[in-house]
Amino acid sequence: METLAFIAESWSLIFSLTLEHISLVSVAVGLAILTGVPIGIAITQNESVAAVVLYAASIIITVPSIALFGLMIPVLSLFGQGIGYLPAVIAVLLYSQLPIIRNTYAAINNVDPALREAARGLGMTPVQRLRLVEIPLAIPVIFAGIRTAVVMNIGVMAIAAYIGAGGLGTLISRGITQTDPRQLIAGALAVSLLAIIADYALLYCQRKLTPKGVSA
Amino acid sequence: MIQLENLTKIFETPDGVVTAADNINMTVPQGEICVLLGPSGCGKTTTLKMLNRIIPPTSGRVMINGEDTSTLDTISLRRNIGYVIQQIGLFPNMTIAENISIVPRLLGWDKKRYLARAEELLAMVALEPKTFMQRYPRELSGGQQQRVGVIRALAADPPVMLMDEPFGAIDPINREVIQDEFLKMQEELQKTILFVSHDIDEAVKMADKVAIFNAGKLIQFDSPDALLAHPCNKFVEDFVGTDRTLKRLRLAKVADVMTPAPTPVKPDDDLQTALQIMQNNDYVAVTMVDTLGRPIGSITRDLATAKRGRCGDHFYGLRAIARVDDDLRSVASAMFSKDTTWMPCVDDEGIFRGEISQRGVTHYLGATYRSREAQQTGVQHGEV
């Protein structure tokens, strides 16, 4: 009951923290898409490079987020950005690479070899093959990777509150330090809800973007 | 015209060097279908794919209409060669109209022109354009997809087509239908076609020339009839099958074998007239036709000798009638099923044109062997 009362009276605070959280994750995952998808496509050209890149991305994801924040403080301090927005975005950007690169790589690689041969035989250039055939067919799987990245990093971003990045993690960290279960629960609930809603929203986008003739 | 000159492909594999195609030489004249035939791994597909450089040749030349294709840019070479694969390879993300118009679009045709072309092609394979243009490949049956695969290759009207077991994935009934449709289209289009198959019956049906491959080598390059009648070695003989002479039945039309219309009799003619005709021409029977010239019965010599009166009152009915454009296989089949050794032949209008007999068929099939034997005997005598 107390928690509900807290949520009711801090509604506008929760709302603004949620917006902050969304903007942090969106910027970071947005940048991750801009880097991860091209990398995923590029490594389909060379199996050994692909193995190295995927291995590196897997290692990054095993570093605990709190440790990653700690590692970045001395480095980014050189630019006066040791804590706050920048390290939070960089961390999420790095964590997002594995699901996005791996799914892009797998999706492009799994395009039916017969379709690839047909595309070559009809006289498409490699770029045309990507644009007209491979990427449209890979969209559902690439999008699944993006969804994984978003859901996972909504959680990671909550921890970024400890380095002053803001977002819903602020409620959780305050709840812990002030031994205030109301804030803690409200923050945790909001983070979970946000993750679920984001997943469904992206699923909707995925369906809209998947070419009609391709089964999702 | 397609010419292959010493075309060779050598693959370096972990198990050593494999010669997939070994100095292939052949010439396919403009407008002909050449079927590349052989067991799997014989080099037929490798040879086909070297033409559009899906597999780059190790050495040798491919000339299309006298032009060495190695001097052409690979992308524009491929856009000028129709390519049909067994898996069909329609792009599931594109509508049928988009699939068909890929090459025209790559070549920069304007929208009106390529859509009109797609409609024209769909109509050609009896797929209603209004219904199919906006559908997606997965909404089509296998046979319909394969038709679209073929017309997609024809979209920019390339002079040369490569077809890699194009009808291999279709059930036997539909395959016959699509083969017939395709042959009818080819009569008009006159493309020069290289066609990979592992099915001797398909080869006999489709080919103007058959190229038999084994272990990377071109073993025999001949017309289907010559191939079936005179396989050049044991391998070809085994490959074409012990019933190879029966397969030749399909290659000859009734018109090639029938004896042209011997004078028929009419129902009003006297039996004596019929007998006279038979005696004069040394026939054992004569066909009776109606006033329009359509065969309705036959009079045998025994009958004409034993009876008196009009032909129309004493004749045997017809067990079977052949059409001049039927192949000998259907004639043989009718002869067996109707227990007859003789059939009158009619044209499209049903008018009597000639007669075909079992003896005529066997004589026709045997002719090629006799001439070969005569030659060989002649040579032996010469040596002696």
* Per-residue model confidence as pLDDT tens digits over A67-89: 998 888 898 888 888 888 899 99
3-state secondary structure of B25: strand
Number of domains in chain B: 2
Q: Looking at B195, B228, B251, which one is the last position of a domain? A: B251
Does any domain span residue B375?
no
Phi, psi of A129 (to 5 degrees): -60, -45
As given in the structure block, the two tokens for residue B3 are 């010419």
On whether both B124 and B167 belong to a single domain, the answer is yes
| pLDDT tens-place string over residues B117-139 | 999 999 998 899 999 999 999 99
Taking an 8 Å cut-off on Cβ atoms, the answer to whether A124 and B85 are in contact is: no
> C-alpha distances in angstroms, A55 versus A11, A44, A138, B132, B342?
43, 15, 22, 46, 79
Does any domain span residue B382?
no
A to B CB pairs, distance under 8 Å: 75
Pairing of strands B342-346, B352-357: antiparallel
Amino acid at residue number B72: L
Confidence band for A203, pLDDT divided at 50, 70 and 90: very high
Q: Looking at B251, B278, B307, which one is the last position of a domain? A: B251
B81/chain A closest Cα distance in angstroms = 8
On whether both B242 and B109 belong to a single domain, the answer is yes
- The sign of the torsion formed by the CA atoms of A14, A15, A18, A23 equals negative
On whether both B198 and B267 belong to a single domain, the answer is no
On whether both B358 and B238 belong to a single domain, the answer is no
Does any domain span residue B377?
no
| pLDDT tens-place string over residues A135-178 | 999 999 999 999 999 999 999 999 999 888 889 999 999 999 99
For residues A142 and A100, is the Cβ–Cβ distance under 8 A?
yes
Rounded CA gap, A188 and A200, in Å? Answer: 19
Q: A122 — contact with chain B (CB < 8 Å)?
A: yes
On whether both B233 and B306 belong to a single domain, the answer is no
CB-nearest partner of A123 from B78, B85, B94: B78
Closest to B330 measured CA to CA, from B261, B243, B256, B252: B252
Q: Looking at B251, B269, B290, which one is the last position of a domain? A: B251
On whether both B171 and B312 belong to a single domain, the answer is no
pLDDT mean across residues, chain B: 90
**Tell me, what CATH number does B290's domain have?**
3.10.580.10
Does any domain span residue B258?
yes
Which residue range is the domain that position B46 belongs to?
A: 2-251
| pLDDT tens-place string over residues B143-192 | 899 999 999 999 999 999 999 999 988 888 888 889 999 999 999 999 99
pLDDT value for B373? 67
Phi, psi of B3 (to 5 degrees): -125, 130
pLDDT above 90 covers a percentage of chain A that reads 74
Angle, alpha carbons B279-B259-B370 (nearest 5°): 110
On whether both B136 and B282 belong to a single domain, the answer is no
Radius of gyration of chain A (CA): 20
Separate counts of helices (H) and strands (E) for chain B = 17, 16
On whether both B89 and B200 belong to a single domain, the answer is yes
List helix spans (H) across chain A. Answer: 2-9, 11-42, 47-62, 65-77, 85-109, 113-121, 126-129, 135-159, 169-177, 181-209
CB-nearest partner of A123 from B75, B92, B95: B75
| Predicted confidence (pLDDT) at residue A18 exceeds the cutoff of 50 | yes
pTM for this entry:
0.81
B230/chain A closest Cα distance in angstroms = 36
On whether both B191 and B172 belong to a single domain, the answer is yes
As given in the structure block, the two tokens for residue B60 are 């040798």
On whether both B217 and B328 belong to a single domain, the answer is no
Cα B261 from chain centre? 28
B153/chain A closest Cα distance in angstroms = 8
Give the containing element (helix H, strand E) for B379: helix B358-383
Interface residue of A108, A122, A130 to substitute, partner B, most B CBs within 10 Å? A122
Does any domain span residue B44?
yes
**Tell me, what CATH number does B139's domain have?**
3.40.50.300
Q: A114 — contact with chain B (CB < 8 Å)?
A: yes
Residue with tokens 């290659």: B251
